[in-house]
Structure 1
Amino acid sequence: MQTQKLDAHQPPLDEAAKADTSIASIHSLGAKLAVAELDVTVFDTMAPLEKDWRALERNNLTSLHQAYDWCHSWVSAYRRPLAILRGVCGLETAFILPVEIERVHGVRIAKFIGADHSNINTGLFSEHVLHGSGDLDAHRFAKSLRHALRGKADMLLLQNVPLEWRGRRNPLGLLPVVQNQNHAYQLPLLEDFEATLKQLNAKSRRKKFRVQSKRLEAIGGFDYVAGGMADEQHAFLEQFFAQKAERFKALGLLDVFADADTRAFLHGLIDIRNGDDFGLQMHAIRLKGENEGHIAALSGISRKGDHVVCQFSSIDESLAADASPGEFLFWQMISGLHGKGTALFDFGLGDQVYKRSWAPIETDHHDVILPVSAIGRIAGIAHRMITRSKAYIKARPDLYKFAQRIRAKIGA
């Protein structure tokens, strides 16, 4: 599950070398795949694919961000043009890549649906393809995708893809990729909470929890709210928007949750329930006593199978900030997930101190870059350069802090 960490000092491969590396990878992974005719069709609506889509998403290793209901909530809110790719080998649906078209600086980019607010993307593949025994020919894979998107997109850009996920190699790794500047952080959930804590500095973690508990009790106590009625869940989400807006304003950053479409999408996720799985569930630390009803910390998590992803979190720094209510909330959530069929708590993308303190596993993500047109080739080169520059900066703490200060000043 853990992939090799980025070595920012290693010189980047040029386009030709990267292509050669990709082809070598294609041969090594695709040697067992029978040569068959691959037919890729583009769909501009989701409904015709629903049956096959839901069948493929049952695989426990498929990201919840490619689940039908998740994508439907995004499409209902944003209504961007769709170019969903279905690959068929023989009589079998080999894969579905749920993509939408976004125009950026005049370039038509085919991206995963909801890519701007997803933490991990895998696409949807049949078991035959995932096990390397299907009828997918890797050379035809890239060629067929280009052919299907011709006239609809200039570039296929599939971001935040782990090339290896929980012991399984992703077929998207057969395509040309560049390592994303962001990594993701995960905590395996073991047989009980005590066993899970032993992966960390358990003694220090317990001591910190006791201190946080005493500080919260000293100001009147708290309630931990996990899930709940729909009305309360939607109200918590609105409070998260308010808390996050204050935080972004203080940092001089753009509020990525400010637009109405994003808020409609996230509210739509709250209404997704399928057995133990859920699109979005809000958790909160709510104070008592003289601070009755005050929400000190909020977090939104999603679940598919045994995989739980933290989508976002926030705190109200005006009260009880010294109790670290955000980290205290993570303790409550993680401990409460034991015994409920969960195996992995995913803190998502982005390098933060609290994530490293909780997560013993760091997973590299990659971006698939497949040009379709001439302008797409130029855009692909630009994306590689920008991504590698960001990775270079993030790998150097002093330079990264300087870049953050500049970013805050210009409000980027």
Structure 2
Amino acid sequence: MQTHKLDVHEQPSDDAALADTAISRLRQVSMKLAMAKIDIAVFDAMQPLEDDWRALEVDNLQSLHQSYDWCSAWVNAFQRPLAILKGTYAGETAFILPVELVKSRGLAVAKFIAADHSNINTGLFSGNFAESGGSIDAEKFARQLQHALKGRADLLLLQNIPLEWRGRPTPLTGLPMVKNQNHAYQLPLLAVFEETLKQINAKSRRKKFRVQSRRFEAAGGVEYVVPETSEEQHRLLDIFFRLKSIRFASLGLPDVFADRETQAFLHGLIDRRDDAGQSFGLQMHALRLKGGNEDRIAAISGISRKADHVICQFGAIDEDLVPDTSPGEFLYWQIISGLHGKGIALFDFGLGDQTYKRSWAPVETAHYDVVLPVSPIGVAAGAAHRIVTRGKAYIKARPKLYKFAQGIRARIG
């Protein structure tokens, strides 16, 4: 997230500054001593960690994607071997890194659980550990992680981590990293929708909304739906899979939602929610047409919520229906406006640079990958990941080259 620096007139007094400096130094010394005494254990199952896990995830700045329910939905669907890292200091849990082992061609990579479908990763840290920021002895921490994973993995690859999230630096700062080729895009939600719109050219967006509304009415009308029943939610998710499959096929791209395990994982998230509705794994929203196209879905999206943070996980449109209305954009208007007054502070469009995201989101967040070799073959694999990631970033930063690369990818399928 972007942060604002204090104006010179807002700087603390000399006495306060000296006190802050002293406290900071004490914290650094304390944390470096603590690192020498932290024990890291590896678990091959989630259940023994559930109580500690849920206690850590209460912190709103820990990503939804490292929550117990999110990870267990993935583990139930994919059944990959786990190597969950738990750090303990003075009898208390300092951190949990929910890691699974992905094996391919003789290489074992330890990655965040469900990394392929996560828009932001933070890991899980206790308050003291999380606030330590860059004061951790990174070299010692890296050696401890390598020792814990020795014989289990060749490479620790923790992807899509913001160096700072909503004002808090990641405790993983200092580990070997490479900047990920994908950034994420966020829209802060202010007190009322009109104030939120002022961040993104309210006048032109309202005009576009009026034009879209008239075109929908001319086509017979449209209804914004958020089904309350689990059955209808699951039905909308299946419609999303169908629409997305058609879209990927038209582009000549592989369908990342096609496999049985991924579909089971996403279906598993729909029924995972707290009683107060403040957090949920997946909730489907859609635009349903009226008139001659009665009950057909023009646009569909799935969102997740943890406390005041909502993440858009995916979206799709039926390109054969009312294409001149931009139904996907119209749906986002409905979703975002409807979230006001419900305790939401941030709407997250997730990873990937797309025009509609930039038009809605004034905040851009860079993500980084921890690339920590554990074995000799992991050194080579880590170097390859860095080269590929930097190559992708180079291409994506150059629109003409990126368009050319996409064309090649589509032709070879």
Among 278, 303, 306, which residue is 1:304 paired with? 306
Show the counterpart of 1:159.
159
Task: Say if 1:277 and 1:304, in contact at 8 Å, map to a contact too.
Answer: yes
In structure 2, what is the Cα distance between the partners aligned to 1:134 and 1:286?
49
Q: Distance in 1 between matches of 2:225 and 2:365?
A: 30
Q: Which one-letter code corresponds to 1:378 in the other structure? A: A
Code of the residue aligned with 2:411 in structure 1: it is: K
Q: 1:227 to 1:136 in 2, by over 3 A?
A: farther
Q: Which residue pairs with 1:286 in the alignment?
A: 288
1:307-326 alignment, distance < 5 Å: 307-326=309-328
Aligned-pair distance for 1:142?
A: 1.1
> Sequence identity, in percent?
67
- The Cα offsets for residues 169-192 of structure 1, whole Å up to 9 and x where unpaired, read as 001122110000000000000001
Separation of aligned partners in 2, 1:339 and 1:210? 23
Contact 2:280/2:304 (<8 A) preserved? yes
Question: Deviation per CA, 1:112-145, whole angstroms, max 9, x where unpaired?
Answer: 0000000000000000011229996433311111
CA deviations over 1:58-82 (Å, ceiling 9, x no partner):
0001000000000000000000000
Does the Cα contact within 8 Å between 2:133 and 2:170 map onto a contact in 1?
A: no
C-alpha separation between the residues in 2 aligned to 1:133 and 1:407? Answer: 40
**Residues 331-356 of structure 1: per-residue CA shift (max 9 Å, x gap):** 00000000000000000000000000
Q: Distance in 1 between matches of 2:151 and 2:113?
A: 19
Native 8 Å contact 2:373 2:379 kept in 1: yes
Distance in 2 (CA, whole Å) between partners of 1:31 and 1:178 is 28
Gaps of 5+ in 2: 5-24
Alpha-carbon distance between aligned partners in 2 of 1:34 and 1:380, rounded to the nearest angstrom: 27
Pairing of 1:171-250 with structure 2 (within 5 A): 171-250=171-250
Q: CA deviation at 1:104?
A: 2.6
Aligned partners of 1:379 and 1:220: how far apart in 2? 55
Count of residues paired in the alignment: 389
Looking at structure 2, the residues matched to 228 and 104 of structure 1 have their Cα atoms a distance apart, in angstroms, of: 41
Aligned-partner SS, 1:318: coil
Task: Give 2:315's aligned amino acid.
Answer: S
CA shift in 2, pair 1:133/1:105, >3 Å: closer
**Are 2:134 and 2:171, in contact at CA under 8 Å, matched by a contact in 1?**
no
**1:292 shift after superposition:** 0.8
Q: Secondary structure at the match of 1:172?
A: coil
SS of 1:151 mapped into structure 2? coil
Pick closer, same or farther for the CA change 1:303–1:252 going to 2, 3 Å. Answer: same
In structure 2, the partner of 1:39 is 39
- 1:384 counterpart (373, 383, 386): 386
Amino acid across the alignment from 2:309? H
8 Å Cα contact 1:3-1:164 kept in structure 2: no
Q: CA RMSD in A?
A: 1.8
| CA 153–398 in structure 1, closer or farther in 2 if over 3 Å, else same | same
CA distance in structure 2 between the partners assigned to 1:305 and 1:313 by the alignment: 22
1:319 Cα offset (Å): 1.0
Question: 2:22 maps to which residue?
Answer: none
**Structure 2 residue aligned with 1:366, among 358, 361, 368?**
368
- Which amino acid is the alignment partner of residue 220 of structure 2? G
- Whether the 8 Å CA contact 1:129–1:135 is kept in 2: the answer is no
SS of the equivalent of 1:198 reads helix
Task: Give 5+ residue unaligned stretches, structure 1.
Answer: 5-26
User: Where has structure 1 moved over 6 Å in runs of 4 or more?
Assistant: none
Equivalent-residue separation in structure 2 for 1:321 and 1:136 (angstroms): 53
CA distance in 2, matches of 1:401, 1:30: 47
Pairwise mapping of residues 320-359 of structure 1 onto structure 2 (< 5 A)? Answer: 320-359=322-361
Distance 1:32 1:362, change over 3 A: farther
Q: Which amino acid aligns with 2:66?
A: Q
Q: Which moved more, 1:218-227 or 1:249-258?
A: 218-227
Preserved contact between residue 185 and residue 355 of structure 1 (Cα < 8 Å): yes
CA contact (8 A) 2:134 2:169 kept: no
Alignment match, 1:83: 83
Which position in structure 2 is the counterpart of 1:147?
147
Is contact 1:100-1:113 (8 Å) kept? Answer: yes
Q: Give the Cα–Cα distance (whole angstroms) in 1 for the partners of residues 135 and 76 of structure 2.
A: 34
CA shift for structure 1 position 106: 1.9
| Structure 1 Cα separation of the partners of residues 133 and 154 of structure 2 | 31
Aligned partners of 1:272 and 1:195: how far apart in 2? 32
Aligned partners of 1:370 and 1:380 also within 8 Å? yes
